[in-house]
């Protein structure tokens, strides 16, 4: 069982931490830059047509990465990854706006399609960043505290329980901030959209639980680490490990 040991942590190196950070950021960027541009529809048995934003395929995976990072490396190192994702998305959103606003060359005829794919409004971008920030930190905090309460047992309770809280915070913030009185989604069905997306994301976490077990177990053995946040400062506004 590892505790917070600042003087030793500075000297500690990990084999896979940087790779997980890169994967987390890549998934988060894909969920916001690729997925939202397309509304998909599947016909399910006993359910019928189900319409959803394609981003729902990507976004829950970022929470799975958050679970793995917190479980293996601890809250403080997961916090650095969350900040990396936040900064990457803020920069990507800024550059997408700049590129969309650049005057197109006269012979280029794809401006309208480009605006549809990358021209999110600032309201949606800010709502996404706020919801991501609060949801991911809530997810990581709950998992870290539950790990101590459960003494490291019953990993599934931590991954699913923290996702319920994190995804709940994310959905409760994003949809009202992005779409209330916007005209894009009628206020009367906004809560239904919010609930259906939350359930879909939670189901992804449940389905991936066996894989999460395998990855967490392999990483703990490879890194010789199983971090418990016994003396961690849980403020989100820090990059210290």
For residue 217, is pLDDT > 90?
yes
Strands 39-44 and 48-53: antiparallel
- pLDDT-based confidence at residue 1 (cuts at 50, 70, 90): low
For residue 7, is pLDDT > 50?
no
Domains and CATH numbers, the chain: 6-100+112-223 (1.10.1760)
Q: Are 229 and 147 in contact (CB under 8 A)?
A: yes
Q: What is the pLDDT of residue 35?
A: 65
Highest mean pLDDT among 8-17, 148-157, 172-181 belongs to 148-157
Q: What is the pLDDT of residues 34-48, one digit of tens each?
A: 766 566 777 878 777
Alpha carbons 124 and 97: distance in angstroms, whole number: 13
Q: What is the pLDDT of residue 8?
A: 43
Instruction: Write 104-113 long-range contacts (CB < 8 A, 24+).
Output: none
Alpha carbons 161 and 7: distance in angstroms, whole number: 32
Q: What is the mean pLDDT of residues 136-156?
A: 97
Of residues 46 and 215, the one with the higher pLDDT is 215
Predicted TM-score (pTM) of the model is 0.89
DSSP string, 62-129: HHHHHHHHHHHH-HHHHHHHHHHHHHHHHHHHHHHHHHHHSPPPTT---HHHHHHHH---HHHHHHHH
Q: What is the pLDDT of residues 56-83, one digit of tens each?
A: 778 889 999 999 999 999 999 999 999 9
- Point out the least confidently predicted range of 10-24, 25-39, 62-76, 221-235: 25-39
């Amino acid at each position: 069982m590892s505790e917070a040991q600042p003087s030793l942590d500075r000297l500690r190196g990990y084999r896979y931490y940087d790779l997980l950070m890169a994967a987390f950021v890549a998934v988060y960027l894909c969920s916001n830059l690729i997925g939202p541009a397309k509304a998909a529809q599947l016909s399910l048995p006993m359910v019928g047509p189900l319409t959803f934003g394609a981003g729902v395929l990507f976004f829950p995976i970022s929470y799975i990465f958050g679970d793995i990072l917190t479980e293996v490396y601890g809250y403080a190192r997961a916090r650095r990854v969350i900040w990396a994702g936040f900064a990457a998305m803020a920069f990507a959103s800024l550059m997408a706006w700049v590129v969309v606003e650049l005057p197109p060359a006269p012979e280029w005829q794809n401006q309208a399609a480009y605006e549809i794919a990358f021209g999110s409004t600032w309201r949606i971008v800010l709502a996404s960043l706020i919801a991501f920030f609060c949801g991911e930190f809530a997810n990581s905090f709950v998992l870290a505290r539950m790990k101590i309460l459960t003494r490291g047992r019953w990993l599934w309770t931590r991954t699913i329980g923290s996702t319920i809280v994190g995804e709940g915070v994310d959905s409760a913030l994003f949809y009202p901030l992005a779409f209330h009185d916007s005209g894009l989604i009628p206020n009367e069905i906004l809560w239904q959209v919010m609930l259906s997306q939350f359930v879909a994301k939670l189901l992804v976490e449940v389905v991936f639980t066996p894989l999460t077990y395998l990855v967490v177990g392999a990483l703990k053995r490879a890194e010789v680490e199983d971090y418990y946040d016994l003396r961690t400062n849980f403020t989100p506004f820090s990059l210290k490990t």
